[in-house]
């Protein structure tokens, strides 16, 4: 069995190495089995019926039409936490840059010349004096993989940290220092913190999460950092409020023409996950997850399908994507029973409107194909896949 994977963007070679040549080809057909990508926008892409999964080597999946994928039975994966440390380090670097005029001091020194360079530097250094992070208050909006790491490390730097996340997962909650205060609403964070950093995904619900009302709550000396997604902040409202000296500075990882050449805005070219380590981690996790899905039907790290994992020992497995309606399991097992086959193992899980069933069979190739064909004829089936156990 060979799978063709369509790739977009620079996927680290360590990840591509998880797709060995004897089982995988890259970009060889018009009808690939799966897509592996980073930030390429797929909203206008029509997916071939051959596509079973899309793996995002990264955290955010707002570049993928996830709802449409769900309707088409395509499993979308991401790589939770794989680039969190890279983003955390860049956020911390920008907190330091926000309190110490490091860049302007370094640029100014380059303008000096002559044998008294050192004296000139010493005489004028006071114009580049800064403040310290220790004792200042950091507000973290979104306490997932990145937000939790930022909160913990900021606390270790001596900052007073307050976090807001009404949907925080149990696993992440366990990882957050007990010294991080829990805010019950976003207003508390925005109005009380000296620095606010945003780490929530961009969805229809979070677009412009920080709008005019929220920006108006910031203290005049506050610094807002956005290393999550540009559209989380209403750029027009932000420009107006900065103009009125509503707050001090906006640091963003997302280029937007409206925000360029503004003395109170620092724009970076989406560098959050651009470290060798993060690129390698994400590529390995995405490729491994995709390969496991293609070869066994098992699903983990999906943003639109349930987690479904059982060990694969039978010669054949049917992977069935169907609508989450009553009696699908009964209908599927009746088809198999009427054919006279015994089910070795079966798992069914659902997530909102979608459900996924794996049926393991010890039958011949022909018999397995026959069972698949019969199941395809059932109502509410979105797709089926017959996987042969090659181990
Ligand atoms: N700049 C970069 O290169 C870069 C790199 C990685 C991730 N990101 C962005 O950062 C986002 C977060 O990444 P992550 O790995 O921490 O994801 P994550 O899924 O681990 O964490 C997101 C957190 O946001 C919380 N959340 C959702 N809606 C919220 C709301 N309205 N208010 C408060 N909290 C809310 C969730 O409960 C979750 O805990 C990604 O979705 C992506 O857009 C950017
Ligand atoms: O969501 C993410 O993981 C980041 O935005 C990384 O994007 P990139 O892979 O294009 O650097």
Q: What is the pLDDT of residues 183-234, one digit of tens each?
A: 999 999 999 999 999 999 999 999 999 999 999 999 999 999 999 999 999 9
Domain 308-391 in the same topology as domain 84-267: no
Pocket test of ligand 2: the residue of 60, 81, 82, 146 to mutate, having most ligand atoms within 8 Å of its CB, is: 60
Of 332, 338, 324, the closest CA to residue 378 belongs to 332
Domain spanning 84-267: which superfamily?
NAD(P)-binding Rossmann-like Domain (3.40.50.720)
Q: Enter the ipTM.
A: 0.99
Average pLDDT, the chain: 98
Confidence of residue 1 (pLDDT cuts 50, 70, 90): confident
Q: Which ligand is nearest to the CA of 230?
A: 1
Of 319, 137, 116, the closest CA to residue 221 belongs to 137
**pLDDT tens for residues 267-317?**
999 999 999 999 999 999 999 999 999 999 999 999 999 999 999 999 999
Share of the chain above pLDDT 70, in %: 100
Give the Cα separation of 261 and 43 in Å (integer): 30
**pLDDT tens for residues 5-26?**
999 999 999 999 999 999 999 9
Question: Is 18 assigned a catalytic role?
Answer: no
The residue contributing the CA closest to ligand 1 atom 3 is 272
Q: Average pLDDT of 379-389?
A: 97
Q: Is the pLDDT of residue 240 over 80?
A: yes
Q: Is the pLDDT of residue 391 over 90?
A: no
The residue contributing the CA closest to ligand 2 atom 5 is 60
Q: Average pLDDT of 381-391?
A: 95
Confidence of residue 164 (pLDDT cuts 50, 70, 90): very high
Give the Cα separation of 136 and 145 in Å (integer): 23
Ligand 2 near 59 CB (within 6 A): yes
Of 187, 271, 192, 162, the closest CA to residue 226 belongs to 271
Question: What architecture is the 1-82+274-305 domain classified under in CATH?
Answer: 3-Layer(aba) Sandwich (3.40)
How many angstroms is it from 285 CA to the middle of ligand 2? 14
Confidence of residue 43 (pLDDT cuts 50, 70, 90): very high
Question: Is 322 assigned a catalytic role?
Answer: no
Q: Is the pLDDT of residue 255 over 90?
A: yes
Alpha carbon 220 to its chain centroid, in Å, reads 32
HSE-CB of 7 using CA atoms within 13 angstroms:
19
HSE-CB of 301 using CA atoms within 13 angstroms:
25
How many angstroms is it from 333 CA to the middle of ligand 1? 40
Pick the CATH number of 308-391 from 3.30.479.10, 3.30.70.1380, 3.30.70.260, 3.30.1130.10: 3.30.70.260
Find the helix or strand (DSSP H, E) in which 218 lies.
Answer: none
Find the helix or strand (DSSP H, E) in which 64 lies.
Answer: none
Question: Is 229 assigned a catalytic role?
Answer: yes
How many angstroms is it from 60 CA to the middle of ligand 2? 7
Ligand 1 near 227 CB (within 6 A): yes
Where along the chain do its domains lie?
A: 1-82+274-305, 84-267, 308-391
List the alpha helices (DSSP H) in the chain: 13-16, 66-71, 84-99, 102-109, 117-124, 145-156, 170-175, 186-192, 212-215, 235-243, 276-296, 328-338, 365-376
Burial 104-120 (b: 16+ CB within 10 A, else e): ebeebeeeeeeeeeeee
Give SS3 for 183: coil
Give the Cα separation of 336 and 374 in Å (integer): 9
CB of 209 closer than 8 Å to CB of 234: no
Give pLDDT, residue 69: 98
Alpha carbon 135 to its chain centroid, in Å, reads 31
> CB-based contacts of 294: which residues, under 8 Å, 6+ apart?
3, 33, 34, 52, 53
Pocket test of ligand 1: the residue of 90, 149, 165, 266 to mutate, having most ligand atoms within 8 Å of its CB, is: 165
How many angstroms is it from 151 CA to the middle of ligand 1? 13
């Amino acid at each position: 069995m060979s799978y063709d994977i369509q790739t977009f963007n620079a996927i680290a070679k360590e990840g591509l190495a998880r797709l060995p040549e004897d089982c995988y080809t890259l970009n060889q057909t018009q009808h690939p089995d799966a897509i592996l990508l980073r930030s390429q926008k797929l909203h206008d892409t029509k997916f071939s019926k051959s596509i079973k999964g899309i793996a995002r080597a990264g955290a955010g999946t707002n570049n993928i039409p996830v709802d449409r994928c769900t309707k088409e039975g395509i499993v979308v994966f991401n790589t939770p936490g794989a680039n969190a440390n890279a983003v955390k380090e860049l956020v911390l670097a920008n907190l330091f840059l926000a309190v110490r005029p490091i860049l302007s001091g370094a640029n100014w020194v380059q303008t000096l010349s002559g044998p008294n360079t050192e004296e000139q530097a010493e005489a004028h250094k006071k114009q580049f004096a800064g403040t310290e992070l220790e004792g200042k208050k950091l507000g973290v909006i979104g306490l997932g993989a990145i937000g939790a790491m930022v909160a913990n490390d900021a606390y270790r730097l001596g900052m007073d940290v307050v976090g807001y996340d009404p949907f925080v997962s149990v696993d992440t909650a366990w990882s957050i220092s007990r010294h991080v205060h829990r805010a019950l609403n976003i207003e508390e964070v925005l109005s009380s913190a000296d620095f606010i950093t945003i780490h929530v995904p961009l969805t229809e619900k979070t677009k412009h999460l920080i709008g005019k009302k929220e920006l108006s709550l910031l203290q005049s000396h506050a610094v807002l950092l956005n290393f999550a997604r540009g559209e989380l902040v209403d750029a027009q409202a932000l420009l107006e409020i900065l103009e009125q000296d509503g707050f001090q500075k906006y640091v963003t990882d997302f280029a937007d023409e409206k925000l360029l050449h503004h003395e109170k805005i620092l724009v970076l070219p989406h560098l959050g996950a651009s470290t060798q380590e993060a690129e390698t981690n994400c590529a390995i996790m995405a490729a491994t997850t995709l390969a496991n899905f293609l070869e066994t039907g098992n699903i983990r790290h999906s943003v639109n399908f349930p987690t479904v994992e059982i060990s694969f020992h039978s010669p054949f497995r049917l992977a069935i994507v169907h609508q989450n309606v009553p009696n699908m399991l009964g209908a599927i097992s009746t088809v198999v029973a009427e054919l006279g086959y015994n089910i070795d193992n079966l798992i069914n899980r659902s997530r909102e409107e979608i459900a996924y069933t794996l049926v393991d069979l010890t039958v011949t190739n022909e018999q397995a194909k026959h069972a698949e064909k019969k199941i395809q004829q059932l109502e509410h089936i979105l797709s089926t896949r017959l996987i042969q156990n090659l181990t």
